[in-house]
């Protein structure tokens, strides 16, 4: 007997089944284990809330919760405050070098934020170059360790999350809406406050929310800068390392709390944003405003200052990596010693980084693109459930997912700990939401009748996918591939939990050098990471340009 | 070449019965049109034949062969879509060759057949162009060539002309009809445009709310509409009670505007009714005017232009109508 599945649905159903299988095994199962670790007693048998009482009973961990949230809120506010005027200037004012500003402004999104944090320490820390120079003039300033420094680094590295959607928002305002307001007697300034800004607010909030979630999940920046200040992701990591693997109850508690917080924020956002869709159906993009020379200069200075300031730390790291370190202490002499030490020890970390990034990017493409297909083309409850599950990794900090991986795959029928595969799988799961999002965005642009035309001409659904959809999606798939590659290469939070023996990556080398005070190796690893990140992006940029020119 | 048999075909979406128990037989080589207002289920029925939409019940056969359970890509159908659906990543020749390659046609044969098909739709020499270099009309020709070149058993058209401008629509529909007749492929054509349907079809199935309202040759449905809906959808008509025309009974009757004439211009045997002119439009070849009868009902009249006729609102007129063209509606 054959199953009575209508032929139109066989391929989507098969893809969905594989998607559920993959995400079930490598996302839901590990998360479930984190959850059950948090609600089981020491023997792992009886259900209990004792772990929550124990962890939350300690002021230290309660402080971790409030610190993380406070820093997140502060960083969201600062990024929004600097990005909204920035976005407005880029969208509506005559600023010289807009294309360059945009390209540079997107860079912090792919550069590793903990490298920026480390650069801040080298520049402004206790023994920092700038600090010492200022001290020699008798000028002192507050400590950059703790909340202040963390918020500063988040602001510099996360502001593009608000800038880019807000700028798109300003550009999407239909000029006729503003003209209508002014023809009703509203001054340009009042029009901006009462008409334009309210239309853009959903974009601003969407960006701000991304910033907030990033801060909740970030491990590297607080690891470098927090010192004694307890922070969620760092404490979960420390607890996990200190606990015995089979039942990491306390780390589990922090992990569950972290997931619940992010999920709650996401839900609130969905509720809010779905109620406020100000689609103005922009036909004519709003014109560049006529302003006096004063405003023009101010806008240019403002935009360029932010863009460059955010990139100074990365630039500084590259420069510093060519200087002489004795232990953590820096000497201003040119030297290739740091790189010699880094690569003398082993080139394995670099090769591992390249290998894992490539494998994960392939994995993400193979998993994400088909799931995006099902999610956009099938209108059913099952497709929506798959969509939600495929978005879930977005709400799961790398640290927490990695803890789940260790608990799930260090014994039993599938043992992955100690090998490279566990890292590649964790990266793949973490980046799947981005691939699904970007692929569905393209698929929404592709008319389904193209597929039907191909099928009616005699190509099976699978052949149609390969011959029509993949070529049409190629540009998007390629940029998704490069972005995954780049972000995996600088992944830290899951990596530090999962790496083992010979499978260290560049980020691990840097992490370990930081712990042991090896400034030279850390800067060399960081510069290498920057090059590894920017090279593919530059290549992609060239490729896209050439492709569009032809 | 094949006839198509559709038996008891039904499909619901939630509570909407998109197609509701449709029985149809389309003859071999026939140009058959599904006509009806937007949302009446034409596309759904067409997509069930193509294999893109499941049946809740009923069956579809090409000749003797039941096809409604076959995967769409094995049904041997040429389909032309409303939005052309020309593959943007392939050249014109690549698009036309697409279905031939799926059928593993040998390379030499393939090039010849592609050229023939392009010549057939008057696009000879356009093979190396890219779709984005073509106009809407040319894109639709590519889509038609692509569907014809595989010599399908059945051709399906879903509102293929609705994205083209009015002038092009008229010339393209004649071309489509001519191609279909010269190749002798059975065709099912979907449109909501009554005039387009009448101009191309051998037979029309008029649909409403997922059901067949009336099936027949265009002139037959126009002249003998089986229902009020059919009478109104097929063209402007006067729906009045028989009594208003001086006939017996309270039945609703349909009387086309062109079946009415002014007293002086009508044959002597036609019944007469008096009224007064309310509104006049001289449209060039045709003059339309509305006449209010003594009982208050309004009659629309259409007459060929007559240079010496004078009509002004308010004037009393005597009308005559052709009794053979009065259709009594149920
Ligand atoms: N995939 C679908 N999901 C839900 N409802 C549908 C779907 N396709 C068609 N319908 C509904 O079925 C009815 C018939 O649609 P359709 O066949 O497209 O009409 P037509 O082509 O005559 O305009 C409409 O009410 C439409 O809303
Ligand atoms: Mg339709």
CATH of the domain at B315: 2.40.50.140
Ligand 1 atom with the shortest distance to the CA of B47: 17
| B88 in the same domain as B10 | yes
Q: State residue B45's pLDDT score.
A: 97
Domain limit, last residue, from B232, B253, B287 = B232
Going by their DSSP bridges, the two strands B154-158 and B186-191 should be labelled as parallel
Euclidean distance between CA atoms A450 and B81, whole angstroms: 9
Q: State residue A549's pLDDT score.
A: 45
Domain parsing of chain A, residue ranges:
328-550
Would you state the structure tokens that stand for residue B181, as one six-digit string?
């007749």
Euclidean distance between CA atoms B92 and B139, whole angstroms: 9
B206 CB near ligand 1 (under 6 Å):
no
pLDDT in tens, chain A (550 residues): 345 677 778 888 888 899 999 999 999 999 999 998 888 877 777 888 888 888 888 899 899 999 999 999 999 999 999 999 999 999 889 888 888 998 899 889 888 899 999 999 988 888 788 888 888 888 877 788 989 999 999 999 999 999 998 998 888 777 777 777 777 777 777 877 887 888 888 889 888 988 999 999 899 999 999 888 999 889 888 888 876 555 688 888 888 988 898 888 888 877 776 665 555 555 566 778 778 888 899 999 999 999 999 999 999 999 989 988 776 677 777 888 888 888 888 888 999 999 999 999 999 999 999 999 999 888 788 888 998 899 889 889 999 999 999 989 988 788 888 889 999 999 999 999 989 988 888 888 889 999 999 999 999 999 999 999 999 998 888 888 988 999 999 899 999 999 988 899 999 988 888 887 778 888 999 999 999 888 888 888 787 777 654 3
Euclidean distance between CA atoms B97 and B79, whole angstroms: 15
Query: What CA–CA distances, in Å, run from B12 to A12, B43, B50?
Result: 21, 13, 17
> In angstroms, what is the C-alpha Rg of chain B?
24
Would you state the structure tokens that stand for residue B281, as one six-digit string?
């439009």
| B223 in the same domain as B300 | no
Picking from A452, A468, A471, the nearest residue to B52 by CB comes out as A452
Q: State residue A277's pLDDT score.
A: 54
Picking from B74, B76, B98, the nearest residue to A454 by CB comes out as B98
B85 touches A: beta carbon within 8 Å: yes
Query: What CA–CA distances, in Å, run from B79 to A62, A450, B105, B181?
Result: 65, 11, 20, 17
Residue A83 · residue A106 · CB < 8 Å: no
* Residues of chain B with C-beta less than 8 angstroms from the C-beta of A461: 73
Q: Which residue does chain A place closest to B82, by CA atoms?
A: A449
Test site for ligand 1: of B12, B15, B41, B188, most ligand atoms within 8 A of the Cβ: B41
B15 CB near ligand 1 (under 6 Å):
no
Q: What residue has token string 């937007």?
A: B38
Euclidean distance between CA atoms B93 and B116, whole angstroms: 11
Euclidean distance between CA atoms A542 and A534, whole angstroms: 12
A471 touches B: beta carbon within 8 Å: yes
Domain limit, last residue, from B190, B213, B232 = B232
A450 touches B: beta carbon within 8 Å: yes
Euclidean distance between CA atoms A199 and A196, whole angstroms: 5
Tell me the percentage of chain B whose pLDDT exceeds 90.
83
| B125 in the same domain as B52 | yes
| B202 in the same domain as B312 | no
Closest CA to A145 of A176, A168, A129, A122: A122
* Residues of chain B with C-beta less than 8 angstroms from the C-beta of A453: 79, 81, 85-87, 143, 146
Contact B74 A471 (CB under 8 A): no
Closest CA to B258 of B198, B330, B326: B326
SS3 state of residue B158? strand
The helix-helix angle for A381-391 and A348-377 (nearest 10°) equals 160
Euclidean distance between CA atoms A124 and A134, whole angstroms: 10
Tell me the percentage of chain B whose pLDDT exceeds 70.
100
Euclidean distance between CA atoms A106 and A261, whole angstroms: 27
The number of folded domains in chain B is 2
Would you state the structure tokens that stand for residue A34, as one six-digit string?
């984190």
Picking from A450, A458, A472, the nearest residue to B73 by CB comes out as A458
Q: State residue A12's pLDDT score.
A: 85
Closest CA to A367 of A386, A347, A340: A386
| B73 in the same domain as B208 | yes
User: Residues B123-172: pLDDT tens digits?
Assistant: 999 999 999 999 999 999 999 999 999 999 999 999 999 988 888 899 99
Q: State residue A26's pLDDT score.
A: 95
| B58 in the same domain as B30 | yes
Picking from A456, A460, A472, the nearest residue to B89 by CB comes out as A472
B11 touches A: beta carbon within 8 Å: no
Q: State residue A517's pLDDT score.
A: 72
Say yes or no: domain A328-550 is CATH 3.90.1330.10. Answer: no
Euclidean distance between CA atoms A245 and A256, whole angstroms: 17
Torsion angle, alpha carbons of B90, B91, B97, B99, to 10 = 40
B154 DSSP β-pair partners: B77, B186
Measured from the alpha carbon of residue B207, the closest ligand is: 1
Q: State residue B204's pLDDT score.
A: 97
Nearest Cα residue to atom 8 of ligand 1: B44
| B242 in the same domain as B94 | no
Residue A524 · residue A342 · CB < 8 Å: yes
| B293 in the same domain as B146 | no
Burial environment of residue B93 by CB neighbours within 10 A (0 to 12, 13 to 18, 19 or more): buried
Test site for ligand 1: of A379, A448, A449, A452, most ligand atoms within 8 A of the Cβ: A379
* Residues of chain B with C-beta less than 8 angstroms from the C-beta of A477: none
Euclidean distance between CA atoms B229 and A172, whole angstroms: 45
A445 touches B: beta carbon within 8 Å: no
Q: State residue A278's pLDDT score.
A: 55
Euclidean distance between CA atoms A107 and A541, whole angstroms: 12
- Return all residues near B209 (Cβ < 8 A) that are at least 6 apart: B17, B20, B40, B41
Euclidean distance between CA atoms A401 and A27, whole angstroms: 8
| B249 in the same domain as B227 | no
Residue A89 · residue A307 · CB < 8 Å: no
Q: Average per-residue pLDDT in chain B?
A: 93
Strand order in the sheet with B252-255: B238-241, B252-255, B326-328
Residue B71 has pLDDT above 60, yes or no: yes
Nearest Cα residue to atom 20 of ligand 1: B39
Strand order in the sheet with B57-62: B16-26, B4-13, B57-62, B65-66
Q: What residue has token string 């211009």?
A: B265
- Return all residues near A222 (Cβ < 8 A) that are at least 6 apart: A71, A150, A229, A231, A233, A234
The DSSP letter of residue A125 is: S
- Which residue range is the domain that position B140 belongs to? 4-232
Domain limit, last residue, from B172, B199, B232 = B232
């Amino acid at each position: 007997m054959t199953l009575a599945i209508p032929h139109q649905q066989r391929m989507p159903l098969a893809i969905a089944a594989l998607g559920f299988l993959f995400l079930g095994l490598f996302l839901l199962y590990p998360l479930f284990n984190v959850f059950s670790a948090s609600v089981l007693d020491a023997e792992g048998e009886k259900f209990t809330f004792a772990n929550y009482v124990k962890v939350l009973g300690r002021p230290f961990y309660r402080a971790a919760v409030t610190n993380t949230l406070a820093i997140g809120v502060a960083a969201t506010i600062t990024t929004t405050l600097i990005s909204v005027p920035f976005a407005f200037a880029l969208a509506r004012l005559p600023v010289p070098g807009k294309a360059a500003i945009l390209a540079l402004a997107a860079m912090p999104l792919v550069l590793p934020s903990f490298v920026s944090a480390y650069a801040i320490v080298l520049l402004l820390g206790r023994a920092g170059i700038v600090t010492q120079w200022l001290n020699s003039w008798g000028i002192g300033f507050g400590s950059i360790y703790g909340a202040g420094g963390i918020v500063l680094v988040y602001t510099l590295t996360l502001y593009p999350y608000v800038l880019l959607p807000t700028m798109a928002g300003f550009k999407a305002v239909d000029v006729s809406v503003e003209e209508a307001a002014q023809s009703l007697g509203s001054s340009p300034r009042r029009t901006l406050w009462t008409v334009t800004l309210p239309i853009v607010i959903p974009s601003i909030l969407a960006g701000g929310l991304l910033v907030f979630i990033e801060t909740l999940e970030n491990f590297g920046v607080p690891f470098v800068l927090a010192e004694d200040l307890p922070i969620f992701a760092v404490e979960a990591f420390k607890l996990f390392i200190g606990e015995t693997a089979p039942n990491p109850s306390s780390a589990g508690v922090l992990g569950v709390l972290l997931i619940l917080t992010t999920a709650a924020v996401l839900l609130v956002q969905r509720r809010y944003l779905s109620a406020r869709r100000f689609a103005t159906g922009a036909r004519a993009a709003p014109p560049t405003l006529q302003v006096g020379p004063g405003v023009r200069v101010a806008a240019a200075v403002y935009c360029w200052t932010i863009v460059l300031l955010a990139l100074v730390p990365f630039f500084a790291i590259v420069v510093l990596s060519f200087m002489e370190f004795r232990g953590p202490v820096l000497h201003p002499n040119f030297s290739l010693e740091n790189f010699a030490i880094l690569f003398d020890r082993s080139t394995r970390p670099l090769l591992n980084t390249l290998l894992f990034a490539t494998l994960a990017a392939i994995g993400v493409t193979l998993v994400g693109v088909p799931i995006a297909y099902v999610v956009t083309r099938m209108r059913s409850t099952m497709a929506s459930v798959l969509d939600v599950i495929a978005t879930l990794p977005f709400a799961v900090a790398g640290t927490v997912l990695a803890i789940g991986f260790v608990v799930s795959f260090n014994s039993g029928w599938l043992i992955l700990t100690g090998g490279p595969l566990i890292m590649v799988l964790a990266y793949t799961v973490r980046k799947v939401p981005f691939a699904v999002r970007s692929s569905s965005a393209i698929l929404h642009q592709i008319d389904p009748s193209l597929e039907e035309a191909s099928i009616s001409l005699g190509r099976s659904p699978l052949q149609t996918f390969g011959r029509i959809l993949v070529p049409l999606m190629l540009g998007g798939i390629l940029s998704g591939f490069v972005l995954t590659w780049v972000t995996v290469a600088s992944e830290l939070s899951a990596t530090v939990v999962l790496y083992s023996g010979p499978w260290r990556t560049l980020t691990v080398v840097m992490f370990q050098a930081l712990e042991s005070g090896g400034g030279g190796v850390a800067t060399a690893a960081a510069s290498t990471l920057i090059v590894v990140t920017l090279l593919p992006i530059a290549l992609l940029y060239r490729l896209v340009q050439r492709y569009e020119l032809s | 070449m094949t006839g198509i048999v559709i038996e008891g075909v039904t499909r619901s979406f939630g509570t909407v019965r998109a197609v509701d128990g449709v029985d149809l037989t389309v003859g071999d080589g026939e140009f058959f049109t599904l006509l009806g207002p937007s949302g009446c289920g034409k596309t759904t029925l067409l997509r069930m034949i193509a294999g893109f939409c499941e049946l809740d019940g009923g069956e579809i056969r090409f000749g003797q062969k039941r096809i409604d359970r076959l995967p769409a890509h094995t049904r041997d159908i040429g389909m032309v879509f409303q939005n052309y659906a020309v593959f943007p990543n392939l050249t014109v020749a690549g698009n036309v060759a697409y279905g031939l390659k799926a059928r593993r046609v040998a390379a030499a044969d393939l090039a010849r057949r592609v050229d023939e098909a392009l010549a057939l739709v008057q696009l000879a020499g356009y093979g190396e162009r890219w779709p984005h270099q073509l106009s809407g009309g040319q894109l639709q020709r590519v889509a038609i060539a692509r569907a014809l070149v595989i010599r399908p058993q059945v051709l399906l058209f879903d509102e293929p002309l609705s994205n083209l401008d009015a002038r092009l629509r008229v010339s393209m529909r004649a071309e489509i009809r001519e191609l279909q007749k010269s190749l002798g492929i059975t065709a099912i054509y979907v449109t909501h445009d009554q005039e387009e349907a009448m101009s191309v079809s051998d037979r029309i199935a008029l649909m409403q709310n997922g059901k067949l309202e009336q099936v027949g040759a265009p002139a037959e449905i126009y002249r003998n509409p089986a229902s009020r809906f059919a009478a109104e959808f097929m063209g402007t008509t006067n729906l009045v009670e028989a009594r208003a025309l001086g006939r017996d009974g309270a039945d609703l009757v349909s009387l086309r505007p062109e079946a009415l004439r002014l007293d002086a211009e009508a044959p002597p045997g036609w019944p007469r009714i008096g009224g007064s002119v309310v509104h006049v439009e001289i449209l060039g070849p045709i003059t339309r005017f509305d006449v209010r009868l003594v009982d208050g009902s309004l009659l629309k009249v259409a007459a060929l232009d007559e240079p010496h006729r004078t009509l002004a609102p308010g004037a009393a007129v005597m009308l005559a109508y052709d009794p053979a063209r009065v259709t009594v509606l149920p």
